[in-house]
Copies of this chain bind each other. A is one copy, B any other.
Amino acid sequence: MSDPQNGLRRGRGRRPAEAVRAAALTAAGEMLFETGLPGLTFDKIAQRAGVSKMTLYKWWPSPGALAFEAYFTAVEPRLAFDDTGDIAHDLRSQLRSFVRLLTAERGGPVIAALVGAAQHDPDLAAVLAEQYTIPRRTLAVDRLRRAQEAGQIAPDVDPQVVVDQLWGACYHRLLMPAEPLTLEFVDALLRNLLRGIAQPVAGTTSGASV
């Protein structure tokens, strides 16, 4: 905040590289959530961030690459994973933040466009897997493993499969839309998966044969 270069930024572009980079990411992230991926150009981002277009070209090969990094910079704090010691509580609060990001905060069309484009762009597919899909899976898997150690999740459950049955179920409603993506849906996902959907057979604790 007291950086003496700040006073010069509009006149001579003398902000430190990291500040310029952050300004570009913030501007691109805001524009993504306001207007979506199509229409995002280096011209518009440069204007909003108060940086030169040449600077953007120096760091990102395309507006798409900048948009991709901006999206994940913007969503990172929204997708934090709490550990209160209660796995049901922590899954619910993380999934609710995730669904709000996709719906009310309009991240859904952005991630849908990225996943869609990745289906015919192997480079984007690789970046999406390495920088988004795998790290986000790992956060959830780590939290689920701690819940297994704490005796809250059955020890023979594969946490990777749980990820597909919670977050994957939300992506299904996003990418192949047919039913609404709501906070009630999140609660139903958790209820089904934690307690099971089989009707308990009287006198035993297990339901349909599995």
Residues of A whose CB lies within 8 Å of any CB of B are: 38, 86-88, 112-113, 115-120, 125, 128-129, 133-134, 137, 148, 151-155, 157-158, 160-162, 164-165, 167-173, 175-179, 185, 188-200, 205-210
Contacts and interface: CB of A to CB of B under 8 A. Distances in A.
Given A176-B133, A177-B129, A192-B165, A155 B199 contact: yes
A141 to B, nearest CB: 10
Contact of A192 (B157, B171, B176, B205): B157
A56 to B, nearest CB: 23
B115 A175 contact: yes
B128 A207 contact: no
20 contacts: A88-B198, A112-B119, A115-B116, A115-B119, A115-B175, A116-B117, A128-B176, A129-B176, A137-B178, A155-B199, A164-B170, A164-B189, A165-B189, A168-B172, A168-B173, A175-B175, A192-B193, A194-B196, A194-B208, A195-B207
Question: How many subunits of this chain does the assembly comprise?
Answer: 2
Residue with the highest number of chain B CB atoms closer than 10 Å, among A175, A193, A200: A175
A193 B200 contact: no
Nearest to A170: B164
Contacts of A210: 88, 190-191, 194-195
Contacts of A193: 165, 192-193, 196-197
A209 B116 contact: no
Given A116-B115, A116-B120, A189 B161 contact: yes
A111 to B, nearest CB: 10
Given A87-B208, A207-B194, A178 B129 contact: yes
Given A165-B165, A171-B175, 19 more contacts: A38-B120, A86-B208, A86-B209, A87-B208, A88-B198, A113-B119, A113-B120, A115-B176, A119-B175, A129-B178, A133-B177, A153-B199, A154-B200, A161-B189, A162-B192, A164-B170, A168-B168, A171-B172, A194-B210
